[in-house]
Structure 1
């Protein structure tokens, strides 16, 4: 919070120093700004690449966008690794949802309501209007100020510190790019109209607002970030209550798109990323009152695993699996815990059963490859990791690390250096990346691999990094 206050003070100073440096932001300017802003956020490594939660967010968000008339921007949805209750739109229709919001809601309708509101801001070009009102220098420097002040302040800090700074990013954004209450009303009205065409209930907007409002907070510093960045909450609740009091869904209302068990996704997010001390006692208590709840067993098993209580975690996941056999989300995490518990063959058997799952197959192959390394089946592990890397999906950075391990065991040191260099590059450790890639180039014979290593090194140079020798 101290860092956030410093950032806001700096923003206000910029406003004071440049009161007349106005500009009317065009669509090309906003596209450029959105691209720069998104890249700066990605470079900080705070976007969560969870395949299940991301798929759910994409399905809901795209269902809302699909019926819209042609838009100047392509809508993209991202999840931020932060436990605050927040969601926000940035320039050029990039929509961000904090994992804390997923953990605070209970239904797809509530998530759809939040996303529809943010999409309403993007469709109304409220971000662009706010930039225009702010009268700050120009689009190129604005991206740097937004992300540099509110994201770059975390440089050199711990991963948790980076996430915390990102958590206050939207709050800082609101200080510079404030939505008006008219913007909020318009976004809510648009959201209700959007949701009519999706199969999701517009009641979800109001229910989500009321749920977040009921959060136990005291004092301005503990108010959920969503309320800081979306002004006039009391008026919004009153206005939405009036709209929805007489609301009748259209007779031809479509069915919702592909559905997820929201609670399973919610407790996955809590189990894999939530605070252990906060959530373990909460879910333990919840299970006493509802011992047959599959999502509770699933989430608690994941939390126990992160707390290195492996046997208890495996027990909880097996209880969840007994109540919901063949659920891929449970199978994947059970396989991962068996690996961590050194039960490699059992893990391989479980992960083999997921070979055809359309969403989690690649994650099953990745984890099975790790287990195969431990059992000594290096050819199978290498084949699996090469498949995962060929997909070029985010979240598989460590596949390069395990490929380096295989190459080292096979006495292929140059290739080991190459994959280790790529791994460090992907986690933004440029110094170690350059060192390993240079070592690889000293002895690599394969021309194709040399070209790949040179390209990786050039990319590092392009980011301002030079060869270490």
Structure 2
């Protein structure tokens, strides 16, 4: 959900550590599960890869690690699609996502789902570097490297499969207990040697493809090499100490050497096109830092940077967002106003300034600013959403209700909390049944199934409107169906993969 609630920032930081531990286990479950399974279990057909990609994507969504930031998401899509566009027809549709994680990483998963970590955006310096990394991941997807891994997995011993799956299940059931995690990691190590050589070969192939892809886009292939050099030079929470089988991109030193050789004699084609018009990368970078980066880490860094470059709009913007997430809201407003004075019509600044005015209980001022950008093609719906929050506080419930209906009707991701505010409006209007309905939908969207079921059941019991009661019933059935599917998947994994190996 974007933007993150100020009240939940600390809780989200703690939960993120748990989520990422579980996510590493989940990634390992799929990757190593696939790599260690006999080929008779997992085929490498396109339909099967599509199914695997869909399941993995749903897992990511359920873990709440995908960020639906409209600006960063649009930038990633523009760059990624520019690279994909000149390619010959592909068996999969390419989709791009940003993951809420501070590490310098990106990865491709089955069926051309490409994930970029927020820490990667925060660490790169220009659009060419982002294009280079995306081109590399697209190279993995075009090469169908996951499918090739499945095909070659018959050379890897399968004896540790049962222990690995059991470790994942134990870890998930115990809330990622250390014992469960250790069991899964120990089981994964069995296939390490066979995987690493193959993965490094994939890395080389993906780099070679990336250079070819970038020749047709207008982005410079030098960006791949520059980004790799940053990986080597930077200290990202001890990432170099993580075992190779836990990294998505091993063999960095060899890749740097190989790419340096390729680019030493590289000459861009004479008819190389201009890259598509895009965002100011620095503004997006400091937006990501400001909204999702660690405040204690970045505030002092940007304060020092501003001393050396006091007219830098992106620095003022990022620092304002960081202050806004701490207890320094007035200073955040001051920094955003400084950025706005230098770039008076920038929607990114206007939106966040309006949001900080709401946090500062200056609702009328917030409404005025947000009104000015409600028609913006990218951020207009977010301006309307935040304006509705201010209108609720000002007592203009009809206008807020109309705006929230528009936002929810758009079907865009990230507006989960619009349901919460609709519930608030209904409660203030003494429409308790409708309040229960919207609150139930809100809890369902944030994966709080217990509270969602409770609120939806209350709504079904008390709603007079037949259509709304039917919608509540459908929401409840979807909730129950999801729970049964997850339990069925777990049982299927156990029956199909653990039991046979135990019997063998």
Fold-level similarity (TM above 0.5): yes
CA shift for structure 1 position 153: 3.9
Residue deviations 1:197-251 (CA, integer Å, cap 9, x gap): 1111111001111112110369665469999322222121111111111111111
Match of 1:455 in 2: 474
Cα pair 2:35 2:150 within 8 Å, conserved: no
Q: Distance in 1 between matches of 2:138 and 2:32?
A: 31
Match of 1:464 in 2: 483
Match of 2:118 in 1: 99
Residues 96 and 226 (structure 1), Cα distance of their counterparts in 2 relative to 1, 3 Å cut:
farther
What are the ranges of 5 or more consecutive residues in structure 1 without an aligned counterpart?
162-167
SS in 2 for 1:332: helix
Q: Distance in 2 between matches of 1:238 and 1:90?
A: 26
Q: Which of 332, 337, 340 is equivalent to 2:351?
A: 332
Q: Which of 273, 280, 301 is equivalent to 1:261?
A: 280
Match of 2:136 in 1: 117
SS in 1 for 2:111: coil
Q: Which of 426, 430, 435 is equivalent to 1:407?
A: 426
Cα pair 2:22 2:172 within 8 Å, conserved: no
Residue deviations 1:100-132 (CA, integer Å, cap 9, x gap): 000110100000000000000110111111122
Match status 1:132 vs 2:175? no
Q: Distance in 2 between matches of 1:246 and 1:134?
A: 37
TM-score norm. by structure 1 comes to 0.88
Q: Distance in 2 between matches of 1:345 and 1:80?
A: 34
Q: Distance in 2 between matches of 1:339 and 1:185?
A: 50
Residue deviations 1:237-280 (CA, integer Å, cap 9, x gap): 11111111111111111111121100100000000001111001
Q: What is the Cα-based RMSD across aligned positions, in Å?
A: 3.5
Match status 1:189 vs 2:213? no
Cα pair 2:23 2:63 within 8 Å, conserved: no
SS in 1 for 2:483: coil
Q: Distance in 2 between matches of 1:136 and 1:401?
A: 52
Q: Which of 313, 321, 345 is equivalent to 1:294?
A: 313
Match of 1:249 in 2: 268
Q: Distance in 1 between matches of 2:454 and 2:63?
A: 22
Q: Which of 37, 46, 55 is equivalent to 2:65?
A: 46
TM-score norm. by structure 2 comes to 0.82
Residues 183 and 380 (structure 1), Cα distance of their counterparts in 2 relative to 1, 3 Å cut:
same
Residues 195 and 418 (structure 1), Cα distance of their counterparts in 2 relative to 1, 3 Å cut:
same
Match of 1:304 in 2: 323
Match of 1:25 in 2: 44
CA shift for structure 1 position 182: 2.1
More helix by share: 2
Q: Distance in 2 between matches of 1:275 and 1:224?
A: 25
CA shift for structure 1 position 308: 2.3
Cα pair 2:34 2:42 within 8 Å, conserved: no
